[in-house]
Amino acid sequence: MSIRITDIDKHFGNYHALRKLSLEIGEGELIGLLGPSGSGKTTLLRVIAGLEVADAGQIHFNGEDVTRLDVRRRRVGFVFQQYALFRHMTVLQNVSFGLRILPRRERPAAAEIRRRAQTLLERVQLGHLAGRYPDQLSGGQRQRVALARALAMEPQVLLLDEPFGALDAKVRKELRLWLRELHEEMNFTSVFVTHDQEEALEVSDRVVVMKAGCIEQVAAPAELYARPASRFVFDFLGENNILEGRLSSGRLTQGEAWVQWPALAAGEGDAELYIRNHEMTLQAQPAAGAHLPLEVRSVTQIGPQARLTLAPLGWSTAMPWEWVCANAHEQTLPERGERLYAVPTAGSLFMAGEQTPRWLTPVR
Ligand SMILES: Nc1ncnc2c1ncn2[C@@H]1O[C@H](COP(=O)(O)OP(=O)(O)OP(=O)(O)O)[C@@H](O)[C@H]1O
């Protein structure tokens, strides 16, 4: 089922929650809606579902205009953060509930309902727990039951609102991989809301980054990471080391820090250079094109990775710089208090007041 969202506008009183938002979602795609709190993710999901009526704009499912179609006729399945399972029903009864309350004409025979619910429970790897009650399940298991329940209605579109938000990090990670697999196997179209960039980048075919009721960028995860389109997306994805300085004659300078690249010659004035983890290394001596002295403030090792916090020496930053070393166990790590030099190999430049990056190409 493809979804076309055209010029959707939505107010809550004076608050403009969605601003002429348009988006095309392909058949079988898994779309992650990512953005800060209040950016309109849930509202967009609810408008797609038909739980919220837009002030203007259209929603098409497979080319058919469903804008005025009631939620019950849209054939969408939902999974919310709080798995609202019925506590007095077994897992199997929960999963088959939607089918059991269908009007008689549409309702499959009782044996068929049982068979379908049991098959779905096997799919979500909970067949052996069909007779249990929700209170006897873990949070992750409950969320899988909620998903099976949504899928029992054979929805054409599955909408998930922070489905794993309430679970701990490990279960969350397992469930997102599992959702990805299930999605590939069953090939429904899904849209899910998350705050968590790692989750969005790991699970989605494409990520939609939202800001104040608008779409800021839509891209496949690898592209979004490699080419954030704006300062907002850079800041939201995080992990930027920023050199704020004055750009003149191809050199960006602040105090004792400077970077001099041929590509920098195209601008003059106040500017910020964003450098991400994969765009820099650290070494004992400065390189020819950059002088960025830093002192190691902390070294935190987590499994095979080490995270270094670095304080500028003779220049200043709003946030300390950080650098993650991927194979920390194979190297001698720097020590606290050591003086090192950052050597950027690429970066993205924002001239003062500009929101789109000027350069993203590697400098060598
Ligand atoms: N029923 C409502 N009545 C009034 N305002 C609402 C209503 N629903 C949402 N809003 C407002 O619209 C804005 C967008 O809300 P929405 O829930 O879509 O954001 P979100 O991006 O999903 O945020 P979060 O990540 O915190 O869930 C918020 O400022 C919210 O307070």
CATH of the domain at 182: 3.40.50.300
User: Of 175, 195, 228, at which residue does a domain stop?
Assistant: 228
Q: Are residues 209 and 246 in the same domain?
A: no
- The mean per-residue pLDDT over the stretch 335-362 comes to 90
Does residue 254 share a domain with residue 329? yes
In a shared domain, residues 164 and 260: no
Residues 213 and 248 occupy one common structural domain: no
Where does the pLDDT of residue 360 fall: very low under 50, low under 70, confident under 90, or very high at 90 and above? low
308-339 confidence digits (pLDDT tens): 999 999 999 999 999 998 888 888 889 999 99
Residues 283 and 140 in one domain: no
Give the model's pLDDT for residue 83.
63
Mean pLDDT of 140-162: 89
- Tens-digit pLDDT profile for residues 67-88: 999 888 888 988 887 767 899 9
Residue nearest to atom 9 of ligand 1 (CA): 43
Is 317 inside any structural domain?
yes
- For residues 3 and 24, what is the distance between their CA atoms, to the nearest angstrom? 6
Of 228, 260, 283, the position where a domain reaches its end is 228
Among 196, 228, 260, which residue terminates a domain?
Answer: 228
User: Model confidence at 179, in pLDDT bands (50, 70, 90)?
Assistant: confident
268 CB-near residues (< 8 Å, 6+ apart) = 247, 248
Q: Is residue 314 part of a domain?
A: yes
pLDDT for the residue numbered 275 = 95
How many Å apart are CA 185 and CA 191, to the nearest integer? 16
Q: List C-alpha distances in Å: 159 to 51, 119, 235, 294, 351.
A: 12, 21, 27, 46, 39
Of 10-24, 90-104, 166-180, minimum mean pLDDT range: 166-180
pLDDT at 253 > cutoff 60: yes
313 φ, ψ (degrees, to nearest 5): -115, 115
Do 220 and 335 share a domain, yes or no?
A: no
Residue 329 lies in a domain: yes
Q: Is residue 358 part of a domain?
A: no
Decide if 360 is inside a domain. no
Question: In terms of domains, do 26 and 135 share one?
Answer: yes
Residues 205 and 294 reside in one and the same domain: no
The predicted-structure confidence for 207-247, as pLDDT tens digits, reads as follows 999 999 999 999 999 999 888 999 999 999 988 999 999 99
CATH number of the domain that residue 248 is part of: 2.40.50.140
208 and 244 in a common domain: no
Three-class secondary structure of residue 53 per DSSP: coil
159: in domain: yes
From the CA of 13, give the closest atom in ligand 1. Answer: 4
| Ligand 1 touching residue 209 (CB < 6 A) | no
> What percent of the chain has pLDDT above 70?
98
Verify that 223 and 254 share a domain, yes or no: no
Does residue 145 belong to any structural domain of this protein?
A: yes
Q: Specify whether 204 is located in the same domain as 87.
A: yes
Our answer on whether the CB atom of 259 is closer than 6 Å to any ligand 1 atom is no
pLDDT tens-place string over residues 11-69: 999 999 999 999 999 999 999 999 999 999 999 999 999 999 999 999 999 999 999 99
* Cβ of 41 less than 6 Å from ligand 1: yes
**Which of 8, 9, 11, 15 has the most ligand 1 atoms within 8 A of CB, as the residue to mutate?**
15
Q: Is 15 in the pocket of ligand 1 (CB under 6 A)?
A: yes
213: Cβ below 6 Å to ligand 1? Answer: no
Q: Name beta bridge partners: 244.
A: 272
Ligand 1: nearest atom to the Cα of 45: 18
Number of domains in the chain: 2
State whether 161 and 259 are in the same domain.
no
Tell me how far the alpha carbon of residue 81 lies from the centroid of ligand 1, in angstroms: 15
Task: Say if 115 falls within a structural domain.
Answer: yes
Nearest CA to ligand 1 atom 30: 38
Find the 291 Cα to ligand 1 centroid distance in Å.
45
pTM score: 0.88
pLDDT of residue 361: 66
Higher pLDDT: 120 or 218? It is 218
DSSP per-residue codes, 171-214: HHHHHHHHHHHHHHHH--EEEEEES-HHHHHHH-SEEEEEETTE
Place of tokens 């704009």: 57
Distance 84 CA to ligand 1 centre (A): 20
Is the Cβ atom of 42 under 6 angstroms away from ligand 1?
yes
C-alpha–C-alpha distance, residues 141 and 144, integer Å: 5
Give me the sign of the Cα torsion angle 108, 112, 118, 119. Answer: negative
Q: 165 CB under 6 A from ligand 1? A: no
- Domain that residue 283 falls in: 239-351
Secondary structure E strands in 26-91: 30-34, 56-61, 64-65, 76-80
Strands 64-65 and 56-61: antiparallel
